[in-house]
A and B are shown apart, each in its own frame.
Chain A
Amino acid sequence: MARTPKVGVYICHCGINIAHTVDVEEVAGFAGRLPHVAVARHYTYMCSDPGQNLIKQDIEELGLTHVVVAACSPLMHETTFRLACQEKGLNPYQFEMANIREQCSWVHAAGPETTEKAKQLVASGVSKAILLEPLAEREAEVTPAALVIGGGVAGIHAALDIADAGFRVVLVERGPALGGRAMQLHKTFPTLEPVAGLIAPLIARLLGHPRIEVLTEAEVTEVSGYYGNFEIEVAIRNPQSAICNLQVGAIIVATGYDLFDPTALPEFGYGQYPEVITGMEFERLAAGGEITVNGKTPQDVVFIHCVGSRDAHRALPYCSRVCCMVTARQAHEIQQRLPEANVTVLYMDVRAFGKGFEEFYDEVRREGVLYRRANPSEIIRRGDKLIVRAEDTLLGEAVELPADLVVLAVGMTPRADTEKLAALLRLSRSPDGFFMEAHPKLRPVDTATGGVFLAGCCQGPKDIPDTIAQARAAAAAAMVPLMRGKVKVEAAVAFVEEELCAGCGVCAELCTYGALALHPVRGVMTVNPVLCQGCGACAMACPSGAMNLHHFTFDQVMAQVDTLVGHLS
């Protein structure tokens, strides 16, 4: 390097988060005596404006070449400090963060050992920092089009928004028809509108939209490329079967859900007694005219909540979010259409949490639907009736309820093909099996793969308004790069030291981004820096040490490790 490094080190108190367990003054004093360190300071909140100003001022006045901030995880504030450096003309990649909060003050008690660990982390950060080289951030052009996978309520809304904003959209639906699960539903809760009547105009607008192309009976079979420029292969599997290749800048996954199969819980006799049906089957029964079972009008109707839900031992640990209200609406339907019928709902907790839901639940009870807090144990046949056996948990006693119709409120599960699509799009899955969002609180529609966004129940159970809100949120996320026309490309990518590379190709086999290829003439590997995401798998696998990673080079990482080990010995 041309210049002798001149490092500024800044120790953050994080209010009391760090300062209560780490002696920040001592750490700053220690850092000030490290080689190449020109200045070391400590401050209450380095991320605040005055904290950042300390860095900016020192870059200007002392001519710092590198900056180290010892504070929280780089996931929190690396960007903040990089931008502060950049503002004063220092390359943002000459900044390094030492995590003395999550990796130190939060996990150790106050005391000299904790302060000692903070010092080591700071020293190792400085050792790496002085080897950091400037890297250039680049931007890639974005293909102004989007792919939407799934033609249900979520996919339709996302497609309409993106197309309305002026971009071309291709919507791929596996089935022959649009509208998804919602088309099977009879009415909405709590507003009691016919669902098909709400969705049909949207489908009409989708099909008539000049910027939307709909491919039904089609499946995405291959995805390559990167954020801003994906290459998609779609197989159309109808009589005119064909393969279609598309270029899009963003992808929205809106593949929906499956329903829990109640044959997994044999005590309810689903599949055995024709009078036991699922909530979705009830929707079709209610939509089809008269409500009859075995040719007769049911006198006693029992709804059972949480079938397959909230049962970590035998079925699904989670709550499916919609079944309470679907059941309330179905119970209301029976009450309205069969005023003579006795309607009982067996529940654990009634989850009426949305706008107007509690009010609807109150109304249904006022109409005469009996809610019993109970754990049903089995359904048996006695004469021409079914008997639902349960423990009423409010009475604390066993009860038997006669029934001519039993409706099981089955929950939602991830679609059977979730894993296949996850592999295709490099998506992670939550412990519940649904696709995982990038952050459960603040990034509910982003994924770990840049340019791929989630909409609707493929991310987790949701009702229609929440699905639509999330679909439009995913559309907004996709519209940002499409409107900007550019996306930032990772600068910390892999590179090859050609004189060491034997061209064995081990790295290319491991690369999930398709970023590595053998140079046909030179016989060495080459890195496509736009495809590379900087994961480092290739550098780890390379038998000859020819693959390396900018910003995490062997020299830089080993300097960091050596300093830590040096402290131990």
Chain B
Amino acid sequence: MDTRDNRPAALIIGGGIAGIQAALDIANAGFPVYLVEREPSIGGRMAQLDKTFPTLDCSSCILTPRMVEAGRHPKIELLTYSEVVSVELIEGETGYHVRVRRKARYVDVERCVGCGLCAEACRMHGRVDSTFDAGVGKRSAIYVPFPQAVPLKYTVDPLACLFLTRGVCGKTFLCKDACSARAIDFEQQDEFLDLEVGAIIVATGFAPFDPREMPEFGYGQYPEVMTGLEFERLVSASGPTAGKIIRNGKEPRQVVFIQCVGSRDAKHGHAYCSRVCCMYTAKQAHLVCEKLPEAQVTIFYMDIRAFGKGFEEFYDRVRREGVLYRRGNPSEIIRRGEKLIVRAEDTLLGEPVEVEADLVVLAVGMQPRADAGQVADLLGLERSDDGFFREAHPKLRPVESGVAGIYLAGCCQGPKDIPDTVAQAKAAAAAAMIRLAGAR
């Protein structure tokens, strides 16, 4: 990274769209930026999405140019497959000492050219659940999460590699044999990097709600019941089915979406609304109509929250396309013959209904990441009642954390859609730049 002019650096934790945007703004203003990402590639959740609402732009098409820009920016150092392990205030409170653990990839990134021959050769080829594909697709034990990964460097999954888990992988390492760049190195160890930064932006994102907590929907029991994020990978042209909506080997004829799974339900899930599910469901319903014009599409909802620019208009469009919106809370999903049956009370009719389904998509909400508590302890952050990181003031200081020099961006502060995330990330960048400029 270009640090010649000795300006103070920023640390950004999390390489999703929030972290990427904040990094680009700060770097473009001339400050060095360390962008730490836990996964092997930057891109975050947005890279997993198929199309974006309400404009139906292809998500990775608009994201990858930003990823490439961050990857080659002379002022940005990407620290992927890395984690922040300690943060300490510098004496005089001018910034923070940060220690970053660079996890062993078992691949020499200087040598790896990203050709993928190792993954083809791996004994576990096509047998490991792809986290990126939300479990809908498979990969090898040595992998890149997705083809446009930045950096495009392979990583050995220590939980799936036969050698790393069992100590033996046949007579010879097939991956090493396949790698003409001689990049694979099972001797590699974690490394630690010590940084000094003037400002920190936390952009660690969210986790999707796990619908197993609501057993009445049979998620994990019926293969036809999937989450919204899984549906994104299923419907994505770059996903495991090449964008064909297929479940149990067949195209579904009846598709039911259930909104607010785990949201607005203090007893079984979260009390709060996740802000994006109404619109991502509307978009997914539109994609079903487009790809399977014969299919019947029903959406169960409580309230439709189509509040952003062009959202209401999109909701109107989807209804005109023939999607049936039914106001009601489904109580359970049962199997009857080849079909699933969604039982619900239609609150407009005031009577119980049963709707047949070949595919049920649960619009799961966002929740704080499982390690939000650890991150909060590491940085001295407070958390709101909902578990997300708390901003300094809910009205006037939405990006300050309450700790000097530490700012919040994106969904780690609360659920947000992409434009709101980008706006907040840029706002956090503004706050960080003011501190770095030291002009105050």
Contact = CB atoms under 8 A, between A and B. Distances in A.
Interface in B368-409: 384-386, 388, 394-399
A48 B62 contact: no
Contacts of A471: 427
Contact of A472 (B114, B303, B312, B430): B430
B271 A484 contact: no
B148 A472 contact: no
Nearest to B242: A16
B312 A318 contact: yes
Interface in A451-498: 459-460, 464-466, 468-477, 479-480, 483-484
A107 to B, nearest CB: 14
Interface in A346-383: 349-359, 362
Given A80-B68, A193-B395, A359 B420 contact: no
B430 A476 contact: yes
A49 B114 contact: yes
Contact of B384 (A310, A355, A394, A483): A355
Interface in B391-440: 394-399, 413-414, 418-420, 422-427, 429-431, 433-434, 437, 439-440
Contact of A17 (B237, B273, B313): B237
A79 B65 contact: yes
Contact of B395 (A358, A439, A440, A464): A464
A472 B426 contact: yes
B246 to A, nearest CB: 15
A303 interface: no
A20 B241 CA distance: 13
Given A164-B434, A353-B305, A473-B427, A50 B242 contact: no
Interface in B26-83: 28-30, 52, 54-55, 57, 61-66, 68-69, 72
Main secondary structure of the interface of A (DSSP, over half): loop
B230 to A, nearest CB: 19
Contacts of A193: 395
B66 A442 contact: yes
A420 B298 CA distance: 45
B173 interface: no
B29 A191 contact: no
Given A351-B307, A460-B309, A484-B29, A441 B62 contact: yes
A332 to B, nearest CB: 16
Contacts of B305: 349, 351-353
A188 interface: yes
Contacts of A47: 64-65, 68, 148
A2 interface: no
Contacts of A473: 422-427, 429-430
Given A15-B238, A396-B348, A472-B399, A76 B65 contact: yes
Given A319-B307, A396-B348, A48 B152 contact: yes
A312 interface: yes
A469 B424 contact: yes
By CB atoms of chain B within 10 A, which of A53, A190, A350, A395 has the most? A350
B440 A484 contact: no
Contacts of A472: 399, 426-427, 430-431
Given A191-B395, A476-B25, A440 B422 contact: no
Nearest to B390: A355
Interface in B263-320: 264, 266, 271-273, 275, 303-313, 316
Contacts of A15: 147, 237-238
Contacts of B434: 161, 164-165
B433 A165 contact: yes
B347 interface: yes
A53 B422 contact: no
Contacts of B28: 480, 484
A269 interface: no
A174 interface: no
B236 to A, nearest CB: 10
Instruction: Name the prevailing secondary structure of the B interface residues.
Output: loop
A440 B147 contact: no
Given A312-B316, A441-B57, A441-B418, A477 B440 contact: no
Interface in A428-453: 430-432, 434, 437, 439-445
Contacts of B114: 48-50
A321 B419 CA distance: 15
A349 B303 contact: yes
Contacts of A321: 307-308
A16 B237 CA distance: 7
A350 B278 CA distance: 12
B303 A442 contact: no
A479 B29 contact: yes
A257 B424 CA distance: 21
A358 B394 contact: no
Interface in A76-96: 76-77, 79-80, 83
A357 B270 CA distance: 13
A408 B64 CA distance: 45
Contacts of A49: 113-114, 150-152
A161 B430 contact: yes
A540 to B, nearest CB: 29
B29 A53 contact: no
A350 B273 CA distance: 11
A91 B302 CA distance: 57
A391 to B, nearest CB: 11
Contacts of A191: 394-395
A350 B312 contact: no
Contacts of B149: 48
B427 to A, nearest CB: 3
A318 B237 contact: no
Contacts of B418: 441-442
Which residue among B63, B115, B273, B384 has the maximum number of chain A CB atoms within 10 Å of its CB? B273
B178 to A, nearest CB: 16
Contacts of A469: 398-399, 420, 423-424, 427
B167 interface: no
B350 interface: yes
A358 B264 contact: yes
B72 A83 contact: yes
A440 B427 contact: no
A228 to B, nearest CB: 14
A198 interface: yes
B306 A319 contact: yes
Contacts of A459: 309
B313 A166 contact: no
B438 to A, nearest CB: 9
A44 interface: yes
B348 A393 contact: yes
Contacts of A480: 25, 28-29
B148 A48 contact: yes
Given A356-B394, A468-B398, A469-B427, A166 B439 contact: yes
Contacts of A440: 54-55, 57, 309-310, 419
A395 B422 CA distance: 42
A50 B115 contact: yes
B61 A164 contact: no
Contact of B386 (A79, A350, A352, A355): A355
Contacts of A479: 29, 430, 433
Contacts of A430: 309-310
Nearest to A460: B309
A554 interface: no
Contacts of B425: 473
A188 B395 contact: yes
Given A15-B237, A442-B21, 4 more contacts: A49-B113, A439-B62, A465-B394, A472-B430
> Lowest 6 A-B CB distances belong to which pairs?
A473-B426, A472-B427, A166-B439, A476-B430, A349-B303, A483-B29
25 contacts: A44-B147, A47-B64, A47-B148, A48-B147, A161-B430, A161-B431, A161-B434, A310-B312, A317-B313, A349-B304, A353-B273, A440-B55, A440-B309, A441-B55, A441-B62, A441-B418, A442-B63, A442-B422, A459-B309, A466-B423, A469-B420, A469-B427, A472-B399, A476-B429, A476-B430
